[in-house]
Amino acid sequence: MESKSSIKSFNSLIIYTVSCLFLLSSCSQPAYTPTTEQNRQFIQPEISFSNDSLNATITTDINFSKVDQLKILAEKPLSLNILFRIIQPDIHDSTISMLVASTKKDINSSITKRTLRQITKDRDGVNLYFELDTTYIFPWIRKQIKSYKNGHYIHSLFNINPDPPKFDQIIALKKLIMPIENFDIPSKASRLPNAPRSYRSGTHRGIDFFSNWGTPVRSVADGIVIRSDLFYKEVAPDFRKEMLKRAALLKRTPSDIFNELLLGQAVIIDHGFELFKGYRAITIYAHLSSINSEISPGYKIKAGETFAQSGNTGTEPSTLGTRNESHLHWELILQNQGGEYYFGQNLDYNQLMIALNNLFDN
């Protein structure tokens, strides 16, 4: 909220500026003094905005009626949603929401405010022009979008080839079954591969199927179990926080922290080379609440076979003893001689949705 002194200062600036304009105009044209009746007839104080919202114009009479109220609207900070859309008009709404949620804490709202740039006078009244200074904010937004689009290796230590496969061109030899029955692929970008995960300084590699605690989980294809955390025990909350601090110092999620801590109770299934030509495929099922007792390494599992139940293990709520944020985190990893990659890596939202819908038999 502005102080009375700042409002007085602003009004003094306006009065001084307009006085100068009147003096200058009086030297070149006959004096013109609108009557009160004419002001009422022709000047209705109002504010208008440009199509891109970067500019605002206040039009008022020579008495500056309602300027203080309209100034509040003119200087109101623009939302990051609008600014992201200006920089990349074709970006998906869900992606914008995700980017805004992860970046709004890093930007001062004062940088997104329009400021007074010019005051002009005509025969009918006065115009005040406000404009957003984009010198800093636009490069910052471009950087956020570029950072979001940049791919990250799963385990950079083991990747020889820096270029992931073109997942929009890779077709499964056999369609996969949805890991949770009667569920669809989520539409929110934050629940899909490539979403930033600021809390662990990393990138989301899979799909989050938000489901009630204990929802049956099934294998998406035939395979053999290579990891099964039958005797999982949740870690202490302070220990989890300490490991995330170390990840923050590295500015990435180390593979040990990701695999051994953040996945929680998990099952990994090897599907061999039967699903994708030239690639070994494995699937990861994380944050489980329980695993069927017969599911141990070496167990041959069938497509559609239920083997576990969804939960929230590995998440902060789980370390605090609650069942909040229950969901199945599911990943598909493809491996070749060049390295290993998560399915959908580096695809933009629309390409990713097409690739995922082609992947499943839904």
DSSP letters for 68-86: HHHHHHHTSPPPHHHHHHH
Asked if 137 and 180 sit in the same domain, the reply is no
**Looking at this protein, which amino acid is placed at residue 84?**
F
Compute the average pLDDT of residues 265-271: 97
- Which secondary structure element, helix H or strand E, spans residue 218, and what is its range? strand 216-218
Q: Which of 118, 142, 166 delimits the end of a domain?
A: 142
CB 170 within 8 A of CB 232: no
Assess whether pLDDT exceeds 80 at residue 238. yes
Domain membership flag for residue 64: yes
Of 42-46, 60-64, 158-162, 356-360, the range with the lowest mean pLDDT is 158-162
d(C-alpha 98, C-alpha 175), whole Å:
29
Q: Which of 142, 163, 190 delimits the end of a domain?
A: 142
CB 55 within 8 A of CB 49: yes
Assess whether pLDDT exceeds 90 at residue 158. no
**In the chain, pLDDT over 70 holds for what percent of residues?**
84
- Which of these, 148, 172, 177, 167, lies nearest to 285 by C-alpha position? 177
Asked if 283 and 136 sit in the same domain, the reply is no
Compute the average pLDDT of residues 209-218: 96
Domain membership flag for residue 190: yes
Domain membership flag for residue 76: yes
d(C-alpha 132, C-alpha 129), whole Å:
10
d(C-alpha 362, C-alpha 359), whole Å:
9
Q: Which of 92, 108, 142 delimits the end of a domain?
A: 142
d(C-alpha 67, C-alpha 86), whole Å:
28
The pLDDT, as a whole number, for residue 77 is 94
Of 39-53, 221-235, 248-262, the range with the lowest mean pLDDT is 39-53
Compute the average pLDDT of residues 165-173: 89
Q: Which has more confidence, 70 or 123?
A: 70
The domain tally of the chain equals: 2
Of 122-126, 347-351, 354-358, the range with the lowest mean pLDDT is 122-126
Domain membership flag for residue 147: no
Asked if 341 and 255 sit in the same domain, the reply is yes
CB 302 within 8 A of CB 222: yes
Instruction: Write the DSSP assignment of 293-310 as a string of letters.
Output: TT--TT-EE-TT-EEEEE
List residues bridging with 341 in a β-sheet: 334
List residues bridging with 309 in a β-sheet: 216, 290
Q: Which has more confidence, 305 or 22?
A: 305
Cβ neighbours, 10 Å, residue 31: 7
d(C-alpha 330, C-alpha 350), whole Å:
20
- Token pair 């008495």 is at which residue? 63
Compute the average pLDDT of residues 100-113: 87
Kindly report the CATH number assigned to the domain that includes residue 247: 2.70.70.10
- Which of these, 75, 27, 13, 67, lies nearest to 49 by C-alpha position? 75
Q: How confident is the model at residue 154 (pLDDT cuts 50, 70, 90)?
A: low
Asked if 136 and 158 sit in the same domain, the reply is no
Could you tell me which residues come within 8 angstroms of residue 188 by beta carbon, excluding any fewer than 6 positions away?
94, 97, 98
Asked if 169 and 110 sit in the same domain, the reply is no
**In the chain, pLDDT over 90 holds for what percent of residues?**
60
The pLDDT, as a whole number, for residue 11 is 53
CB-facing half-sphere around the CA of 157: CA atoms within 13 A: 5
- Which of these, 334, 360, 343, lies nearest to 175 by C-alpha position? 360
* Helix axis angle, 93-103 to 80-87, nearest 10°: 120
Q: What is the pTM of this model?
A: 0.68
CB 249 within 8 A of CB 342: no
Cβ neighbours, 10 Å, residue 86: 17
Domain membership flag for residue 167: yes
Asked if 158 and 300 sit in the same domain, the reply is yes
Compute the average pLDDT of residues 217-226: 97
Asked if 25 and 170 sit in the same domain, the reply is no
What phi-psi label fits residue 105: left (phi over 0), alpha (psi between -120 and 50 degrees) or beta? alpha
Domain membership flag for residue 187: yes
Q: How confident is the model at residue 109 (pLDDT cuts 50, 70, 90)?
A: confident
d(C-alpha 325, C-alpha 330), whole Å:
15
Asked if 163 and 135 sit in the same domain, the reply is no
The pLDDT, as a whole number, for residue 12 is 56
Asked if 24 and 167 sit in the same domain, the reply is no
CB 226 within 8 A of CB 299: no
In tens, the pLDDT along 321-355 reads: 999 999 999 999 999 988 899 999 988 899 999 99
Domain membership flag for residue 247: yes
Q: Range of 27's domain?
A: 4-142
In tens, the pLDDT along 47-100 reads: 999 999 999 999 999 889 999 999 999 999 999 999 998 998 877 777 888 788
Asked if 168 and 303 sit in the same domain, the reply is yes
Could you tell me which residues come within 8 angstroms of residue 332 by beta carbon, excluding any fewer than 6 positions away?
176, 206, 220, 281, 282, 283, 342, 343, 359
Asked if 132 and 67 sit in the same domain, the reply is yes
The pLDDT, as a whole number, for residue 151 is 52
Of 1-15, 219-233, 245-259, 277-291, the range with the lowest mean pLDDT is 1-15
Rounded (to 5) percent helix, strand, coil in the chain: 35, 25, 45
- Rg (Cα) of the chain, in Å, rounded? 29
Cβ neighbours, 10 Å, residue 263: 23
Q: How confident is the model at residue 17 (pLDDT cuts 50, 70, 90)?
A: low
Q: Cite the beta strand spans of 22-152 per DSSP E.
A: 46-49, 55-60, 114-121, 126-132
Domain membership flag for residue 45: yes
The pLDDT, as a whole number, for residue 220 is 98
Of 13-27, 129-143, 283-297, the range with the lowest mean pLDDT is 13-27
Asked if 107 and 179 sit in the same domain, the reply is no
For the chain, give the mean pLDDT. 86
The pLDDT, as a whole number, for residue 41 is 47
